[in-house]
Amino acid sequence: KKETDPRAPSNYADLISTLPFEEGWAPALTRKYQGFWIPQCFLPGIMGMQQNFKARPDDLFVLSYPKCGTTWLKALTYAIMTRVQYPFDHHPLLGQNPHECVPFMDRTYSKGQASELDAMPSPRILNTHLPFSLLPDSIKSLDCKVIYVCRDPKDVLVSRWHYNNRMRPQPIPFAKAFEMFCEGNCPYGPIWEHVLEYWEESRRRPEKVLFLRYEEMLEDPLGIVKRLAEFMGCPFSPEEDKEGVVEEVIKLCSFDKLKSLEVNKTGKLDPNFSLTNDSYFRKGKAGDWSNHMSPEMVQRLDGVTEQKLRGSGLTL
């Protein structure tokens, strides 16, 4: 059993080795840290980030439960923010994966490359999968804007299962993944607590926390992209509307477009990482759970979700 990550800085390794761990999502060994199952490989980075990260007031945070559409939301926010800077036919998103345009802070810190975040010009768009309660304090004290995306937990499980299977010689038996997920044991889980923290925060401070669902992004990309731009403080002008700029953003960030790009077919975020970028573009649809789950499984997981969210005003 691997109990410590050799890359953990020594000051965190001792603490990390005391945290409860789970191996079922291997190769992602997860540890229960402050109530959530965090992949061990990111824990040293996350702890360093919680202590040291300095937000800027104009930072925009794209946050999500993993497998809820982070890649898409990164592409959309980045394309919206930089639309005046770059023409759509020579856009950085054509040559870079969205995770390169909007860094995943947990990984950046884990690689000891936090200075890259400091070097980014403002306004920065940054991403972490941490729940609200674990975010570095400065993000909260500066009242930074946050965009959060969630998704039907059944599709999150299916997406996660496929993603982790790509890193394994043998797939995780789906029934086992299902059990773990229903217990709240999934990377960055339990999903319900994660979602509820942001849901409640978005109700408290709607001008600072925008709460989105993957399914509504699929249903009404036009409406969502306009809402995103307004929330970000750079709404589309009537001229841009007339010239079809909103549609250009949607086209550039569409599943088919991004999936077809060479960088997203064969590229890698990190030469040491086993996965190629195509792992971020699988099916891009809602409802793939129906191809994986028995009616009993659907009933049980829907039941857990219903029970966890009861009284919150949120349905998933």
Side chain identity, residue 286: A
- Catalytic position from the list 90, 91, 99, 129: 129
Closer CB to ligand A3P, 16 or 102, in the complex = 102
> Does residue 159 touch ligand A3P according to CB under 6 A?
yes
Closer CB to ligand A3P, 9 or 267, in the complex = 267
> Does residue 221 touch ligand A3P according to CB under 6 A?
no
For residues 243 to 282, the per-residue mask of contacts with ligand A3P, x marking binding by CB under 6 A and - elsewhere, is ----------xxx--x---------------------xxx
CA distance 283 to 271: 25
Instruction: Look up residue 22 and give its DSSP letter.
Output: E
The residue within the footprint of ligand A3P, chosen from 200, 248, 288, 302 (CB under 6 A), is 288
| 178 and 184 Cβ atoms separated by less than 8 Å | no
Side chain identity, residue 105: M
CA distance 212 to 74: 13
Smallest gap from Cβ 67 to ligand A3P, in A, equals: 4
> In whole angstroms, how far apart are CA 237 and each of 161, 213, 221, 243, 245?
42, 25, 18, 10, 10
Reference 245, options 51, 21, 82, 35; nearest CA is 82
Closer CB to ligand A3P, 136 or 284, in the complex = 284
> Does residue 162 touch ligand A3P according to CB under 6 A?
yes
The residue within the footprint of ligand A3P, chosen from 30, 64, 127, 164 (CB under 6 A), is 64
- From the list 154-162, 171-179, 225-233, 308-316, the region that binds ligand A3P by CB under 6 A is 154-162
For the chain, the maximum distance between any two Cα atoms, rounded to a whole number of angstroms, is 60
| 263 and 96 Cβ atoms separated by less than 8 Å | yes
CA distance 56 to 33: 26
Q: Is there a catalytic annotation at residue 129? A: yes
Instruction: Look up residue 73 and give its DSSP letter.
Output: H
Smallest gap from Cβ 291 to ligand A3P, in A, equals: 11
The residue within the footprint of ligand A3P, chosen from 39, 44, 69, 131 (CB under 6 A), is 69
Please give the residue ranges that form the binding site for ligand A3P (CB under 6 A).
64, 66-72, 155, 159, 162, 253-255, 258, 280-284, 288
Catalytic center residues:
129
